[in-house]
Amino acid sequence: MSQRIDHHPVLGSLGDRKQLPFYYNGSVYTAYEGETIAGALLAAGVRTLRVHEEKGTPRGIYCNIGHCYECRVHVDGVPTVRACMTLVQEGMQVNAGSILPTPLKKGGHGA
Amino acid sequence: MIDLLIIGAGPAGLSAAIASAKQGLAVRVVDEFYRPGGRLLGQLHEEPDGVWWNGLDEAARLTQEAIELGVEIRCGVSVFHLTHSQDGWIVSTTVGEMIAPLLLIATGASEAAVPVPGWTLPGVMSIGAAQVMTNVQRVRVGQRGVVIGINILSVAISRELQLAGITVDRMILPPSTTVSGTAWQPQAVMQSLLRVAHLAPSLLIRMGSKMMGNSWMQKLAVSLYPSNGFSMWDIPIQLRTAAVEIVGTSQVEGVRIARVAADGSPIAGTEQVIPADFVCIAGGLSPLAELAAIAGCPFAYVPSLGGHVPLHNESMRTPVPGLYVAGNISGIESAKVAMAQGTVAGLSIAKARGKLTNEQPLLDAIQQVKIVRQNATIQFHPNIVAGRALVGQMTAEWIAN
């Protein structure tokens, strides 16, 4: 179910907006023109935007104004794009990223 | 060639752009958000006179006026470095270097995080994030949530969430940690709320009933102790309950809470988990001042202004030649103060550029900041005036030496 606030008691109603299909982790979603990646996905009930690069734990938005980088996603192959600051474009490929190897985790010198 | 580059298209930056462009300066404004307006965009509250303060409209008005004056506004541009050279400021941005003889940093504020176990779960966000998602992106952050952190900002935004059909189950205190300041102390939080009690249900103010206003204040004072706290706009504000942990596996499912004693210490055996599908964390605001630091500006630590602020005088000049600040970077106050400060900065910069033939408008604008501050409905801190005076004095001393 969409969580969009089409009608607001003070801000009024949103008019007709153009629909923009885009992809998140290979599945198709619909954004409206002028929506951020974070907004469009949350409207569709998607809270997890990426996984932690080391632990794989889920992450969503935190600050929603570009400071915290918690919502960083891959967009059309470009890593570290902030989902909260980026407007959806038609056909955009958004990806949550994956766990990265940590070969030096235990320290150097064969530790 | 531009005369002035402004970093930040919020109320301060846009007002400065307008004021300086009116004096004939060529002005460019950059902002990393995708549309101009800054934190004005999310603001929506009813003033005591019953008029709604709609930040979206204010932002649109400022943007329109700036554009009509020939100001160039470039959104989606992040600034990551500044250096000074003979040609002026060299500003490194995500779309290349920009050069301007005069620079205004109007980057606003950032929200302080509060360490609560489980805060990285999807569905946990800052209170400002919820505000932008609700009022700007027009998407509900959830059905029913908990706000951790009780302050003027979180109370106002909780009301905004409620307007959009989102239920705020309750507002509670953060856990006591070494970085929570006094935000976990029931008494301190109550005192800070009493300062804004005159704002309380503006419905009461509309009804013009002083009696009711007084009884609300009395109720607030005595209800520090009842277990359910008191309600503002039907949102329970619980000064004797603190968050212990945010629980959930792939996203927020609830909050573990505990009753706390009057001194803020948790009461054993009172823990319970309440269901929630989102959590907002409200840790307060502090000036977003990294760029001023990179520019070599000296700072002062002034708690009443929100923390570390770049030194500046009444004209919004810093001790660094060609560098100005305005808005929340200079101390946490309301958007109206930021707009008034932006006008000062714009005129002050026009003067530095030799474009201000008559100084009276600048002097008037400086006076206007004080008037706006005095009339502000929301005072973020009781000692703002003293804090401002201290910064002004430190700036004068720095320049003299």
Domain boundaries, chain A: 5-93
**Exposed/middle/buried for residue B137 (C-beta within 10 Å: 0-12, 13-18, 19+):** buried
Torsion of Cα atoms, B112 then B115 then B119 then B125, to 10°: -20
Q: Residue B130: enclosing H or E segment and its boundaries?
A: helix B127-131
Average pLDDT over residues B338-352: 98
Cα distances (angstroms) measured from residue B150 to each of B35, B187, B247, B357: 30, 12, 20, 48
CATH number among 3.30.420.40, 3.50.50.60, 1.10.30.50, 3.30.450.20, domain B4-110+285-400: 3.50.50.60
pLDDT (0 to 100) of residue B156: 87
Backbone phi and psi for residue B284, each to the nearest 5 degrees, phi listed first: 90, 175
Taking CB atoms and an 8 Å cutoff, what residues of chain A touch B163? 8-10
Fold of the domain spanning B114-282: FAD/NAD(P)-binding domain (3.50.50)
- Per-residue confidence band for A1, with pLDDT thresholds at 50, 70 and 90: low
Mean pLDDT over B268-286 rounds to: 96
Query: Is the pLDDT confidence value at B227 over 80?
Result: no
Question: For residue B322, how many C-alpha atoms fall within 13 Å in the half-sphere facing its CB?
Answer: 19
| Interchain proximity A58–B111, CB inside 8 Å | no
From chain A, pick out residues whose CB is under 8 angstroms from the CB of B130: 64
Q: What pTM value is reported for the model?
A: 0.93
| Average confidence (pLDDT) over B211-230 | 58
When mean pLDDT is compared across B231-240, B256-265, B324-333, the lowest value belongs to B231-240
Average pLDDT over residues A32-60: 96
Please report the ipTM that was assigned to this predicted complex. Answer: 0.94
Q: What residue segments make up the domains of chain B, in order of their start?
A: 4-110+285-400, 114-282
Tell me yes or no: is domain A5-93 CATH 3.90.580.10.
Answer: no
For B33, the closest chain A residue by CA position comes to A85
| Nearest chain B alpha carbon to A41 | B139
Distance (Å, whole) CA B51 – CA B62: 19
* Structure tokens that stand for B296 in this block: 């070599």
In this prediction, residue B222 carries a pLDDT of 56
B121, B129, B139 ranked by CB distance to A4: nearest = B139
Helix (H, G, I), strand (E, B) or coil at B20: helix
Position A111 confidence tier, pLDDT thresholds 50, 70, 90: very low
**Matching CATH topology for B4-110+285-400 and B114-282?**
yes
Residues in CB range of B221: below 8 A, 6 or more apart: B190, B194
Give per-residue pLDDT as tens, B110-168. Answer: 998 888 999 999 999 999 999 999 999 999 999 999 999 998 889 889 999 999 999 99
Reduced to 3 states (helix: H, G, I; strand: E, B; else coil), residue B173 is: strand
Rounded Cα distance between A34 and A48, Å, is 21
Nearest-angstrom CA–CA distance, B264 and B49: 36
Cβ separation of B122 and A66 shorter than 8 Å? no
**Quick check: B250 and A8 CB within 8 A?**
no
Cβ contact (<8 Å) for A35 and B137? yes
Helix (H, G, I), strand (E, B) or coil at B205: helix
Contacts of B140 in chain A (CB under 8 A): 3-5
Task: Find, among B286, B268, B279, B243, the residue nearest to B126 by Cα.
Answer: B279
Please give the pLDDT value at position B177. Answer: 77
Q: Is B110 in contact with A49 (Cβ distance < 8 A)? A: no
Q: Which of B80, B139, B153 to mutate to test the interface with A (most CBs of A within 10 A)?
A: B139
Q: Are B259 and B247 in contact (CB under 8 A)?
A: no
The yes-or-no verdict on residue A110 having pLDDT over 60 is no
Is it the case that residue B203 has pLDDT exceeding 60?
A: no
Q: What is the pLDDT of residue B223?
A: 58
Whether residue B376 has pLDDT greater than 80: no
B259 DSSP β-pair partners: B241
Name every chain B residue with its beta carbon within 8 A of the beta carbon of A61: 125, 129, 133
d(CA B100, CA B371) in angstroms, rounded, equals 32
Which amino acid does the sequence have at B3?
D
pLDDT at residue number B220: 62
Residue type, B1: M
Q: Do B163 and A57 touch (CB under 8 A)?
A: no
Residue B188: per-residue pLDDT: 82
Residue B264 has pLDDT above 80, yes or no: yes
Q: How far apart are CA B304 and CA B21, in angstroms?
A: 32
